[in-house]
Amino acid sequence: MISKMIKFSFLVFHSNYEKFLNDIQEIGTVHIKTQQEGDLNDEIAALLDDYNKIKNTLKELNARDLKGSPVKKDLKWREVVDRFEELNNERIKYQKLKEELIVLIKQNAPWGEYSKSKIKKLEEFGVVARFFKIKEGKFNEQWLTDYPVQIINRVGKEIFLVSFDPDFNFLEYAEEVRLPEVDVINLEKQLAGVEKEISKVEKKLDRLAVSGIPVLTQTQLDLFSSIEFQKVLENHTLSYGEGKINALEGWVPESAQGRLIEYLEKEGILYHKQISTSGDAAPIQLKNNRFAKLFEPIGKMYSLPRYNELDLTSYFAPFFLLFFGFCLGDAGYGIIIFLGATLYKLKASEKLKPYLTLGQYFGGATFVMGLLFGNFFGIELGKVAVLSGVKDIFLDSSKIFYLSLLLGGVQILFGMVIKIVNKVKQNGFLYALDTVGWILLLVTTVIFAMLGPEYLKNHPVLGIIKTGIYVLSILLILFFSSPSGKIHLRFASGLWNIYITVTSIFGDLLSYIRLFALGLSSSILGLVVNKMAIAFSDISYIGPIVFILIILFGHTLNLLISSLGSFVHPMRLTLVEFYKNAGYTGGGKEYNPFSKYQATN
> Does residue 554 have a pLDDT over 60?
yes
pLDDT in tens, 35-45: 766 666 778 88
Same domain, 370 and 414: yes
Which pLDDT belongs to residue 192?
A: 92
Which pLDDT belongs to residue 6?
A: 92
Cα dist from 151 to 107, 142, 147, 164, 596, whole Å: 17, 12, 12, 12, 74
b/e map of 577-600 (b: 16 or more CB within 10 Å)?
Answer: bbbebbbbeeebeebebbbbeeee
> Does residue 601 have a pLDDT over 50?
no
Model-level pTM? 0.74
Number of domains in the chain: 3
- The average confidence (pLDDT) of the chain is 85
* 240 within a domain of the structure (yes/no): no
Q: Are 317 and 574 in contact (CB under 8 A)?
A: no
Which pLDDT belongs to residue 327?
A: 92
Q: What percent of the chain clears pLDDT 70, i.e. is strictly above it? A: 95
* 590 within a domain of the structure (yes/no): no
Same domain, 302 and 362: yes
- Residue 459: band (very low, low, confident or very high) from pLDDT cuts 50, 70, 90: confident
Same domain, 409 and 504: yes
Q: DSSP letter for 40, please.
A: P
> Does residue 237 have a pLDDT over 60?
yes
* 284 within a domain of the structure (yes/no): no
* 314 within a domain of the structure (yes/no): yes
> Does residue 90 have a pLDDT over 60?
yes
Among residues 160, 178, 196, which one ends one of the domains?
A: 178
> Does residue 118 have a pLDDT over 80?
no
Among residues 161, 178, 195, which one ends one of the domains?
A: 178
d(CA 228, CA 236): 10
Average pLDDT value for residue range 246-265:
92
Same domain, 137 and 219: no
d(CA 80, CA 84): 6
Amino acid identity at 263: Y
pLDDT in tens, 277-300: 766 788 999 999 999 999 999 988
Among 378, 367, 376, which residue's Cα sits nearest to residue 524? 378
Average pLDDT value for residue range 66-70:
62
Which pLDDT belongs to residue 355?
A: 93
* 67 within a domain of the structure (yes/no): yes
> Does residue 330 have a pLDDT over 70?
yes
Side-chain-facing half-sphere of 493: CA atoms under 13 Å? 15
> Does residue 181 have a pLDDT over 80?
no
Q: Are 10 and 252 in contact (CB under 8 A)?
A: no
Q: What percent of the chain clears pLDDT 90, i.e. is strictly above it? A: 29
Same domain, 426 and 362: yes
Same domain, 200 and 312: no
d(CA 201, CA 85): 12
55 Cβ contact list (under 8 Å, min separation 6) = 220, 600
Angle between helices 77-108 and 42-62 (to 10 degrees): 50
Per DSSP bridges, beta strands 130-135 and 175-177 are antiparallel
* 161 within a domain of the structure (yes/no): yes
Cα Rg of the chain, angstroms? 37
* 464 within a domain of the structure (yes/no): yes
Same domain, 457 and 407: yes
b/e map of 398-435 (b: 16 or more CB within 10 Å)?
Answer: eebbebbeebbbebbbbbbebbbebbeebeeeebbbbb
- Residue 522: band (very low, low, confident or very high) from pLDDT cuts 50, 70, 90: confident
Which pLDDT belongs to residue 600?
A: 40
Same domain, 173 and 301: no
Which segments within 348-465 are labelled E, that is strand?
Answer: 375-376, 379-380
Cα dist from 316 to 284, 323, 393, 410, whole Å: 18, 10, 28, 12
Same domain, 121 and 224: no
Coil, helix or strand at residue 31: strand
Tell me which residue range forms the domain holding 408: 290-581
Same domain, 171 and 194: no
Same domain, 42 and 151: no
Query: What is 70-120 written as a DSSP string?
Result: PP-----HHHHHHHHHHHHHHHHHHHHHHHHHHHHHHHHGGG-S--HHHHH
Among 494, 517, 500, 516, which residue's Cα sits nearest to residue 581? 500
- Residue 505: band (very low, low, confident or very high) from pLDDT cuts 50, 70, 90: confident
463 Cβ contact list (under 8 Å, min separation 6) = 456, 457
- Residue 70: band (very low, low, confident or very high) from pLDDT cuts 50, 70, 90: low
Per DSSP bridges, beta strands 175-177 and 158-163 are unpaired
* 207 within a domain of the structure (yes/no): yes
Same domain, 74 and 99: yes
Q: Give the count of beta carbons closer than 10 Å to the beta carbon of residue 8.
A: 23
